[in-house]
Amino acid sequence: MTKLLQNEMPWPSKLTLQTSWRRANDGGLDDIKAWCASVNSPTAVLIDTLEKFRAQPKWGKQNYSTDHDAISGLQAITKCQPGLAIIVLHHNRKMDAEDPFDTVSGTLGLTGAADTILIMRRKAGSTQLLVRGRDVEDSETSLQFNKVSCRWTILGADAAKAAVSNERKQIIEALTAFPDGMSVSEIMAATERTDRNAVDQILFKMSRDRGIRRVRRGVYALPQDAGKIDKKERKVVLSPEFEEKPGDLTYLTDLIEEADLSHRRGDGLEIPECLRRY
């Protein structure tokens, strides 16, 4: 609090701190209601952490119901108290998921009961705040933490773009060493990424923008060097009978037909690659 309140500012008079609280099923919900009734215009209640407040799971009760009840009881208080927000701190599981909101520890009962879910995660050297809710639009914001002031700062759209650019740069650097392409899992390992969904999205965008090419399903590589391809095509040496006749391309059809008939007769005459294009 001393770091948060710079220049010896006084502590907020409406701030109430409690280091212990009864669990939800042991009177904890009633205590929150009582506190709201004891103050003027209660604005926010912060519970840190949910695991210390929620009711202990009952034998035989489904985990989904237990998780849903842990939030629905708090949600009921906000419906009876206009202007009140109840913020619950919870943890993410270590296992990654395609949808970042599926990393919330527990079942879908938690995220299904909450009105809004906010997730903080590290990505590309920065921290992102992901928001999803019933009354808000989905968003992703870059943040930076100041250890001196203990405050978070919103970096804005430019920082988010810079983070994406850094991701693309790392992917390109990884693909440079593998001209034949890399699988998504190999790209994730090379760039130290753990979110498969996020990597799939940026690979799709890079492929769409032609920054990389999709070799086959799940495998990507750098774009082929057009200059080298042209150079190889120019190195094709034609025999005299295939010499180019300026202004007249009808001879190409005759040559291809001749080669095709020769191939069927078994003469072994091959159609040059430069003619196959026609």
Separation between Cα atoms, residue 98 and residue 256, nearest integer Å: 51
Omega of the bond prior to 49 within 30 degrees of 0, cis? yes
Examine the pLDDT at 239 and tell me if it is beyond 60. Answer: no
Lowest pLDDT segment from 26-40, 76-90, 99-113, 231-245: 231-245
Domain chopping of the chain, boundaries: 1-114, 160-221, 236-276
139, 195, 278: which is closest to 203 by C-alpha? 195
pTM over 0.95: no
Examine the pLDDT at 119 and tell me if it is beyond 50. Answer: yes
pLDDT band at 245 (very low <50, low <70, confident <90, very high): very low
Per-residue confidence (pLDDT) for residue 232, from 0 to 100: 40
Amino acid at 225: D
Angle at 28 between CA 24 and CA 34, to 5 degrees: 140
Cα separation values, 217 from 150, 213, 258, Å? 45, 11, 39
Examine the pLDDT at 73 and tell me if it is beyond 80. Answer: yes
Per-residue confidence (pLDDT) for residue 43, from 0 to 100: 92
Separation between Cα atoms, residue 187 and residue 221, nearest integer Å: 10
What value does the mean pLDDT take over residues 200-224? 85
Torsion sign, CA atoms 25, 28, 32, 35:
positive
Examine the pLDDT at 51 and tell me if it is beyond 60. Answer: yes
* Tokens of residue 11, six digits: 């502590």
Per-residue confidence (pLDDT) for residue 236, from 0 to 100: 43
Per-residue confidence (pLDDT) for residue 106, from 0 to 100: 78
Q: Which residues are CB-neighbours of 7 under 8 A, at least 6 positions away?
A: none
Examine the pLDDT at 29 and tell me if it is beyond 90. Answer: yes
At what angle are helices 28-38 and 63-80 packed, to 10 degrees?
Answer: 10
Give 228 or 143, the one with higher predicted confidence.
143
- What CATH class is the domain 160-221? mainly alpha
What value does the mean pLDDT take over residues 73-93? 90
Lowest pLDDT segment from 52-56, 90-94, 99-103, 211-215: 99-103
* Tokens of residue 111, six digits: 């995220």
Separation between Cα atoms, residue 266 and residue 70, nearest integer Å: 80
Q: Which residues pair with 119 in a beta bridge?
A: 130
Separation between Cα atoms, residue 22 and residue 32, nearest integer Å: 10
Separation between Cα atoms, residue 270 and residue 140, nearest integer Å: 58
Quickly count: other Cβ atoms within 10 Å of residue 159's Cβ.
16
At what angle are helices 184-191 and 157-176 packed, to 10 degrees?
Answer: 110
Lowest pLDDT segment from 100-114, 155-169, 192-206: 155-169
What value does the mean pLDDT take over residues 225-237? 42
77, 78, 62, 132: which is closest to 102 by C-alpha? 132
pLDDT band at 158 (very low <50, low <70, confident <90, very high): low
Q: What's the mean per-residue pLDDT of the chain? A: 77
